[in-house]
């Protein structure tokens, strides 16, 4: 076998390792009910859940409980299937959190009742997306 | 009379006309350069003249486009959507420049202008290559201009123009009443971009993007004119230039993130970052194979593949970042302007042309028949380039997960793949080992490069550097406390490449000129970068663990590390070796060095303007007197003063910034204390909103002068009352009685005087409360009871002011910055050498 072939095989092997590891480490988008089912089956892998903060009738965000030292908090989130879930986040409340139109939590169920987020991504009403003039500055 | 703020349509029409002219002239340039390359000798001069003129017209039009857009921003023409949504009146000129490229359209203009500059340089530095290279350039320009053309043909919208009027971009009822309505002010620039690095970073990055076109254009020209190997010489200095500029762009972006963003570091493996890193890796790989080819006529095919890949990857990166396909997987992806289709066509067009030309000529491309020996530099450089390519592959693959999902879904499937949850861990576990391999290869490779090697010579050459680097590594490992095996290997590999390349560098400097030193300098820089990253990221230490001793509702929560610490105002709090004390909010005032506490300022209601409530002193000098009007630098910015003590001795203050922005919520920027061997990096992660406090229920105290009592847990002394002859903001009349109570409130080492006022006029009682926002205390003098000689106070409390802080130690980060500078210098030396080579050959008439 020529050296070139060995190198070629080596490259292919590394590329396969890279692809396999990506497939293995890639997270998935799930609903809360799926995530809970995964936890029940013993799968602790971190997954993504997309949803919104729970809002009351007046449109205010409900259910945010900030711990006394302000370094962590709980909140209620409703996923795209409508399941409501209490979520814990071990970070201070992100500043524009209650304004988020959409939130993505990355994490896993701690037990049957509580979802622990390792990371939260927020989609906020961006100034780049405005299609209506604000009354301010008129 | 002409209405004062009449809409100026002229400048927008000029800009739009220039866009169309730029588009048409780019197409004509491409056509005429094509005619030039196939023309007979006699006609060539004419065609060349004509092509140059059309390219000059194109250049002029492109620069006019840029000028028109800047004019709109500079003169606050908010009747234009671009100015309205990206700038505001309060912005200083250098941030107006940032506004220019905040939007996608401006970014494309930047790219177009850089291509124009590069094209003009190429026209005047090349003889033979002018024709073929400029065809590619002109075609690329046509595609780029079409992105912002803003022409609608039937249902087909081509490009998104930056020159549309606000009334055409948004639908607001006001335009039905008054079509000439023009807003007073724009919505401003994203506060994160209000940073000096954001003024110079995008132009650098786009020059990097633009410059990848040059080697690609030479390659296409070479393939089309069947000069399969001659293109390498002119392309090489440009490939090096491109890698240098892209590298600089990456570093600037990382540095910007480090000083402005609060994700706690300089690199986050965000798709936007990866989108530059990947083409850079490939370009670096291409440089190495091209250099090999120049020395020994091998690796031409790999060079071709890599040059094509670097150009296409830049387009792919643009597509990823700007088409909206990333959705929520990136913190700063742009919104979809409906350009994804156009971007895709642009990318696929050049991919198809490149693959077609390469495939058609593949069998004619010279290759070396002899198998590269393990003791040849070709072999090792090829391995190095392969490693770089695999590194790039490992990054681009997961970054493309959203594309994969979109692809599956467009064929009706369902794919719910998401990027890895722990991005940093995921990328690091591969990139670390690839980087180690690259470091080792650069060390060994340099020996092969400069010497003929056989097993014996290699052993002899490597023994000394090896011994020296083991000794140095041992010292670093012991003194830097590097006890993790992977990091020990990183240290060994990095030190080895530094030592080996240094020895080569010394030899080169002794024997010949500095001109040849580029490679070794860049490789030494690489070694330093790796050591810097290993220490600053691998051994970064969060020191703001909360030691408040609070008990949590759940026991498991106690086990979780709270990585932030709550600092109440004036309360000393332990943060590792330091005692930190939060001392209040400050503003930056024009003309005053450092910061000014908000207690000394009162807003006048005008933007960025305040009245000094007391003399403003700094460094022993009085800058403003009480009552002066002062100008604030961006009044939205609050700087939180945090003093650090060690063993009760004051050390330094840090002032992390936070901005409450109406459109983006709270923006937080870190402040770092820089030591030679480490940085203390801190930022505020949450603040108290004390603008509109919700006062708690009333508390009443009856106190006699001289008595001490407690408000909340503040020791408060009532010194006594005082009859006033005048009261601020009130005209006292004959018969009025005004009394103030003098309260001294102690909060740790800070003494505060609160003086509520009680006024009697015509049997009516008036009260002026004393409010202290920092303590969250409001005191009113409720009544004076002469019979008991006591004063009665009404107290309302709110919480004390606080910040939640995160503090991280980043060891040896300066080695990283120093390494990047060294690497850039290495690139510059290499560019100079290769360009000099090209120029000499060109002047001998041996250009192609």
Tens of pLDDT, residue by residue over B471-502, are 999 999 999 999 999 999 999 999 999 999 99
CB of B686 less than 8 A from some CB of A: yes
Contact A90 B665 (CB under 8 A): no
- Do B605 and B736 lie in one domain? The reply is no
Q: What is the dihedral of CA B51, B52, B53, B57, to 10 degrees?
A: 100
| Annotated domain spans of chain A | 1-27, 31-126
- Do B687 and B707 lie in one domain? The reply is no
Which of A46, A95, A104 lies closest to B665 in CB terms?
Answer: A95
CB of B420 less than 8 A from some CB of A: yes
Task: Classify residue B428: in a domain, yes or no.
Answer: no
Query: Looking at residue A129, what is its pLDDT?
Result: 40
The SS3 assignment for B778 reads strand
Cβ contacts of B170 on chain A, cutoff 8 Å: 130-133
Rounded to whole angstroms, what are the CA distances from A112 to A36, A77, B384, B568? 7, 15, 50, 36
Q: Which residues on neighbouring strands pair with residue B157, listed in sequence order?
A: B152
Q: Which of A1, A71, A137 is the best residue to mutate to test the B interface, defined by the most B CB atoms within 10 Å of its own CB? A: A71
Chain centre to alpha carbon of residue B173? 38
The pTM for the full model equals 0.90
- Do B215 and B252 lie in one domain? The reply is yes
Chain centre to alpha carbon of residue B248? 12
- Do B734 and B795 lie in one domain? The reply is yes
Is it the case that residue A82 has pLDDT exceeding 60?
Answer: yes
pLDDT tens figures, A94-131: 767 877 778 889 999 988 889 999 888 877 654 444 43
Q: How many domains does chain B have?
A: 5
- Do B578 and B656 lie in one domain? The reply is yes
Cβ contacts of B401 on chain A, cutoff 8 Å: 26
Task: Classify residue B435: in a domain, yes or no.
Answer: no
**CB of A27 closer than 8 Å to CB of A47:** yes
Structural domain of B726: 699-800
Query: Looking at residue B222, what is its pLDDT?
Result: 94
Task: Give the whole-angstrom CA distance, residue B115 versus residue B431.
Answer: 32
**CB of B30 closer than 8 Å to CB of B138:** yes
Query: Looking at residue B556, what is its pLDDT?
Result: 66
Beta-carbon contacts of residue A49 (< 8 Å; ≥ 6 apart): A29, A30, A31, A32, A35, A77, A79, A85, A104, A105, A115
A31-126: which CATH topology? OB fold (Dihydrolipoamide Acetyltransferase, E2P) (2.40.50)
The SS3 assignment for B685 reads strand
Q: Are strands A47-53 and A102-109 parallel, antiparallel or unpaired?
A: antiparallel
Which of B426, B553, B664 lies closest to A127 in CB terms?
Answer: B664
- Do B94 and B8 lie in one domain? The reply is yes
CB of B196 less than 8 A from some CB of A: no
C-beta pairs of B367-370 under 8 Å, 24+ apart in sequence: B367/B298, B367/B300, B367/B301, B368/B296, B368/B297, B368/B298
pLDDT tens figures, A9-61: 999 999 999 999 998 888 888 899 988 888 888 888 889 998 888 888 887 88
Task: Classify residue B417: in a domain, yes or no.
Answer: no
pLDDT tens figures, B74-110: 998 988 989 988 888 878 888 888 889 888 899 999 9
Task: Give the whole-angstrom CA distance, residue B248 versus residue B329.
Answer: 25
Task: Classify residue B277: in a domain, yes or no.
Answer: yes
**Residue A100 DSSP class:** -
Task: Classify residue B451: in a domain, yes or no.
Answer: yes
Q: How is A69-89 classified by DSSP, letter by letter?
A: TSS-EEEEEEETT--EEEEEE
Query: Looking at residue B1, what is its pLDDT?
Result: 40
Is it the case that residue A64 has pLDDT exceeding 70?
Answer: yes
Query: Looking at residue B691, what is its pLDDT?
Result: 66
Give B73's Cβ-side CA count (13 Å radius). Answer: 27
Task: Give the whole-angstrom CA distance, residue B35 versus residue B31.
Answer: 6
Q: Which of A15, A34, A92, A104 is the best residue to mutate to test the B interface, defined by the most B CB atoms within 10 Å of its own CB? A: A92
Q: Taking chain A, what is the end-to-end CA distance rounded to the nearest angstrom?
A: 77
- Do B662 and B763 lie in one domain? The reply is no
Which one of B189, B220, B236 terminates a domain?
Answer: B189
- Do B148 and B1 lie in one domain? The reply is yes
Task: Classify residue B136: in a domain, yes or no.
Answer: yes
Task: Classify residue B624: in a domain, yes or no.
Answer: yes
Residue B420, Ramachandran bin (φ over 0: left; ψ between -120 and 50: alpha; else beta): beta
Could you tell me the two tokens for B626?
A: 């009480």
- Do B324 and B278 lie in one domain? The reply is yes
**CB of B718 closer than 8 Å to CB of B791:** yes
Residues in chain B where the model's pLDDT stays below 50: 1-3, 331-333
Chain centre to alpha carbon of residue B85? 20
Contact B185 A137 (CB under 8 A): yes
**Residue B593 DSSP class:** S
| Alpha carbon of A29: minimum distance to chain B alpha carbons (Å) | 5
**Residue B323 DSSP class:** S
Contact B390 A11 (CB under 8 A): yes
Task: Classify residue B424: in a domain, yes or no.
Answer: no
Q: Of B5, B225, B2, give the one whose Cα is nearest residue B130.
A: B225
- Do B204 and B353 lie in one domain? The reply is yes
- Do B40 and B147 lie in one domain? The reply is yes
**CB of B559 closer than 8 Å to CB of B792:** no
- Do B195 and B216 lie in one domain? The reply is yes
Element of type H or E holding A50: strand A47-53
Q: Which residue of A has its CA nearest to B548?
A: A69
Beta-carbon contacts of residue B307 (< 8 Å; ≥ 6 apart): B215, B216, B219, B235, B239, B286, B290
């Amino acid at each position: 076998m020529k050296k070139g072939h060995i190198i070629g095989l080596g490259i292919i092997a590394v590329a396969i390792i890279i692809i396999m590891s990506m497939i293995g480490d890639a997270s998935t988008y799930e609903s809360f009910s799926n995530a809970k089912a995964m936890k029940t089956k013993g799968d602790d892998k971190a997954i993504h859940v997309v949803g919104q903060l729970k809002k009351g009738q007046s449109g205010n965000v409900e259910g945010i409980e900030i711990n006394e030292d302000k370094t962590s908090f709980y909140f209620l989130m409703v996923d795209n299937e409508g399941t409501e879930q209490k979520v814990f986040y071990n970070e201070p409340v992100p500043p524009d959190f209650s304004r988020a139109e959409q939130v993505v939590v990355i994490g896993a169920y701690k037990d049957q009742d509580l979802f622990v987020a390792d990371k939260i991504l927020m989609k906020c009403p961006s100034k780049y997306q405005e299609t209506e003039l604000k009354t301010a500055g008129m | 009379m002409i209405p004062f703020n009449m809409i100026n349509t002229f400048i927008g029409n000029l800009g739009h006309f220039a866009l169309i002219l730029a588009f048409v002239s780019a197409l004509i340039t491409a056509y005429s350069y094509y005619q030039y390359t196939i023309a007979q000798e006699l006609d060539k001069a004419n065609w060349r003249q004509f092509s140059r003129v059309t390219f000059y017209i194109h250049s002029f039009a492109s620069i006019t486009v840029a000028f028109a857009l800047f004019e709109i921003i500079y003169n606050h023409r908010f009747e234009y959507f671009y100015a309205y949504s990206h700038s505001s009146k309060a912005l200083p000129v250098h941030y107006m420049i940032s506004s220019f490229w905040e939007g996608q359209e401006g970014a494309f203009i930047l790219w177009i202008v850089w291509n124009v500059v590069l094209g003009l340089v190429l026209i005047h530095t090349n003889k033979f290559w002018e024709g073929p290279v400029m065809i590619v350039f002109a075609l690329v320009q046509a595609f780029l201009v079409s992105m912002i053309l803003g022409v609608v043909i039937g249902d087909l919208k081509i490009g998104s123009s930056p020159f549309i009027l606000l009334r055409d971009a948004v639908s607001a009822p006001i335009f039905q009443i008054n079509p000439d309505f023009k807003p007073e002010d724009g919505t401003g620039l994203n506060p994160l971009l209000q940073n000096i690095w954001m003024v110079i970073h995008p132009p650098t990055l786009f020059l990097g993007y633009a410059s990848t076109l040059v080697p690609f254009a030479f390659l296409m020209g070479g393939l089309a004119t069947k000069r399969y190997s001659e293109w390498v010489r002119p392309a090489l200095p440009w490939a090096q230039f491109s890698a240098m500029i892209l590298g600089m762009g990456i570093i600037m972006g990382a540095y910007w993130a480090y000083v402005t963003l609060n994700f706690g570091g300089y690199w986050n493996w965000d798709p936007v970052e990866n989108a530059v890193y990947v083409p850079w890796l490939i370009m670096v790989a291409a440089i190495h194979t091209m250099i090999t080819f120049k020395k020994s006529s091998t690796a031409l095919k790999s060079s071709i593949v890599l040059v094509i890949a670097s150009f296409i990857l830049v387009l792919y990166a643009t597509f990823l970042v700007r088409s909206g396909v990333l959705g929520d997987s990136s913190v700063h992806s742009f919104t979809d302007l409906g350009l994804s289709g156009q971007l895709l066509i642009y990318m696929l067009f050049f991919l198809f042309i490149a693959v077609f030309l390469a495939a058609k000529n593949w069998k004619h491309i010279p290759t070396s028949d002899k198998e590269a020996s393990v003791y040849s530099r070709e072999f090792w450089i090829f391995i190095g380039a392969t490693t770089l390519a695999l590194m790039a592959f490992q990054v681009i693959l997961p970054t493309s997960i959203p594309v994969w999902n979109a692809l599956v879904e467009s064929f009706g499937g369902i794919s719910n793949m998401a990027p890895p949850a722990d991005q940093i861990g995921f990328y690091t576990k591969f990139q670390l080992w690839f980087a180690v391999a690259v470091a080792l290869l650069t060390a060994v490779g340099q020996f092969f490069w400069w010497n003929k090697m056989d097993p014996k010579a290699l052993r002899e050459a490597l023994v000394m550097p090896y011994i020296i680097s083991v000794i140095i590594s041992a010292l670093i490992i012991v003194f830097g406390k590097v006890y993790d095996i992977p990091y020990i290997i990183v240290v060994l590999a990095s030190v080895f490449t530094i030592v080996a390349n240094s020895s080569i560098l010394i030899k080169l400097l002794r024997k010949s000129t500095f001109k040849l030193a580029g490679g070794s300098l860049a490789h030494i820089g690489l070694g330093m970068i790796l050591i810097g990253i290993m220490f600053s990221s691998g051994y970064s230490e969060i020191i703001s663990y909360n030691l408040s001793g609070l008990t949590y509702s759940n026991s498991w929560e106690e086990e979780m590390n709270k990585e932030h610490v709550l600092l109440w105002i004036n309360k000393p709090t332990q943060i590792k070796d330091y005692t930190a004390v939060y001392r209040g909010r400050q503003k930056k005032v024009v003309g005053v060095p450092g910061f000014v506490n908000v207690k000394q300022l009162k807003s006048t209601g005008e933007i960025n303007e305040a009245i000094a409530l007391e003399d403003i002193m700094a460094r022993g000098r009085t800058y403003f007197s009480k009552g002066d009007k002062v100008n604030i630098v961006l009044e939205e910015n609050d700087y939180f003063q945090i003093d650090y003590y060690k063993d009760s001795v004051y050390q330094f203050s840090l002032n992390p910034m936070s901005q409450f922005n109406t459109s983006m919520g709270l923006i937080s920027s870190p402040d770092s204390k820089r030591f030679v061997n480490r940085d203390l990096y801190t930022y505020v992660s949450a603040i108290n909103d004390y603008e509109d406090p919700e006062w708690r229920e009333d508390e009443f105290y009856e106190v006699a002068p001289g008595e001490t009592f407690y408000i909340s847990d503040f020791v408060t002394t009532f010194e006594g009352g005082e009859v006033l002859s005048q009261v601020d903001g009130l005209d006292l009349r004959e018969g009025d009685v005004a009394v103030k109570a003098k309260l001294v409130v102690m909060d740790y080492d800070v003494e505060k005087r609160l003086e509520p006022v009680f006024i009697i006029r015509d049997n009516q009682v008036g009260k002026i409360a004393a409010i202290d926002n920092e303590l969250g205390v409001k005191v009113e003098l409720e009544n004076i009871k002469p019979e008991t000689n006591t004063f009665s106070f009404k107290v309302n409390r709110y919480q004390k002011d606080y910040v939640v802080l995160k503090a991280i130690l980043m060891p040896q980060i300066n080695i990283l910055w120093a390494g990047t500078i060294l690497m850039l210098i290495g690139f510059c030396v290499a560019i100079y050498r290769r360009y000099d080579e090209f120029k000499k050959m060109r002047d001998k008439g041996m250009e192609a």
